[in-house]
Amino acid sequence: MSYNIETQHNGTEHLAINNTFVRRFLTRLALHPTAKFYSRDGLCVPISKHKIVKTGRRVHLTEGVAIKYLAGNTAIPVPKVHCSFLHKNRAYIVMERIQGEELSKAWNSMSKESVEGVFAQLRKIFQELRALTPPGTGVESYIKGSLYDSRNRVEIHVLVLFTHGDLNPINVLVCGGNVVGIIGWEFSRWYPHYWDYTSAWFGNVTRTEWQGMLDKVLDRPRPEELRMEEVRNKWWDE
């Protein structure tokens, strides 16, 4: 499936948050001098000790909307979104710069008890994420799908839940043995209940240590669901 950079933001202007001329001007102005004082971290550019700007060709306003939704409906530690807007076919999200260390860097210096405590916190966080109800339904929503293999056809009914979509140790910020932030919500959507597990599993094929820890955070999908995602990742995943 092709990805059209030129039209990716069409019809999404209404998703902007606190979109004023002053905020747009000050954000773009701040990006230039701060580059001399702060190091860019992937798509995120620090503009002060307490704020970052996330921008790039594949950054979308939907991420800011998702974070704002979570902040208003859960106790999950997410960064505060100050504003978001489009400028010259590019999305900008100004958000809180959470003071914490990536779990991927921290766990080597953490005690076994602290690491176990972090995973217990993550499990509670993702249980709360899964307790959200799809907007406009009022009831649990399901999708119906089929899995084909060389022997038979397996039909499944899948519960749709709010999903992070990139459960990865670099997206978990910790401080003093506590989870202080979950970041990287660009892939969050209402997806099948197993999506967080399988996306983390297949997205970390070279990080086997993290794969082995997923069961501490999420419930393992059924065998047919894992098999279906294995087939999808092999043949259709971009």
Residues 196 and 218 in one domain: yes
Q: 31 is in which domain, residue-wise?
A: 13-96
pTM: 0.85
Q: For residues 45 and 61, state if they share a domain.
A: yes
pLDDT at 203: 79
Tell me how far CA of residue 46 lies from CA of 60, 95, 114, in angstroms: 18, 10, 29
Averaged pLDDT in 10-residue chunks for the chain of 238 residues: 72 95 94 72 86 93 96 97 96 96 92 95 96 65 42 56 93 96 94 89 78 90 80 68
The per-residue pLDDT for 65 is 95
Provide the pLDDT for residue 237: 58
pLDDT score, position 149: 41
The reply to whether 173 falls in a domain is yes
In a domain, 4, yes or no: no
Q: Is residue 163 part of a domain?
A: yes
Q: Pick from 50, 66, 96: which residue ends a domain?
A: 96
CA-based nearest residue to 123, from 72, 69, 182: 182
Looking at the fold, whether 124 and 170 belong to one and the same domain comes out as yes
- Split into its structural domains, the chain has a count of 2
Domain boundary among 96, 125, 152: 96
- Say if residue 189 is in the same domain as residue 107: yes
pLDDT of residue 1: 40
Do 80 and 171 lie in one domain? The reply is no
Interval 61-82: pLDDT, tens: 999 999 999 999 999 999 999 9
- Within a domain: 5: no
The pLDDT value given to residue 33? 76
